[in-house]
């Protein structure tokens, strides 16, 4: 019965605001340009979750951006992905322990 009340309250909120609630309220994200990445930022890719371990840099006259990253589930696996400098990336901030 409590679930029905919660669902009705969420439905009223959706109708009132016109927006669906976030599925990950506990994991705030932000969208940044590749050159705004910071060491410790995390982002999800189709191959898993990655953490930035090196500062970003550009090549090709500033049109491509790269940053050294490591896979969270396999820390020994690193990669150097390439993004267009104007493509925003959805990232989470550093993990606090």
How far apart, in Å, do the first and last CA atoms of the chain sit?
Answer: 37
Mean pLDDT of 25-37: 78
Which pLDDT belongs to residue 69? 92
Give backbone dihedrals phi and psi of 20, rounded to 5 degrees, phi first: -80, 145
21: confidence class by pLDDT, cuts 50, 70, 90: low
Nearest Cα residue to 68 out of 77, 50, 59, 80? 80
| 24-92 CATH, one of 3.40.190.10, 1.10.3720.10, 2.30.30.30, 3.40.50.1820 | 2.30.30.30
Which pLDDT belongs to residue 64? 92
């Amino acid at each position: 019965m409590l679930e029905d009340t919660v669902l009705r309250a969420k439905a009223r909120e959706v109708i009132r605001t016109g927006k669906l609630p976030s599925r990950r309220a506990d994991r705030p994200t932000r969208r940044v340009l590749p050159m705004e990445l910071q060491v410790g930022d995390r982002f999800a890719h189709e191959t898993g979750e990655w953490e930035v371990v090196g500062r970003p840099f550009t090549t090709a006259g500033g049109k491509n951006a790269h940053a050294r990253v490591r896979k969270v589930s396999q820390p020994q696996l690193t990669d150097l992905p390439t993004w267009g400098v104007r493509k925003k990336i959805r990232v989470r901030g550093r993990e606090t322990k």
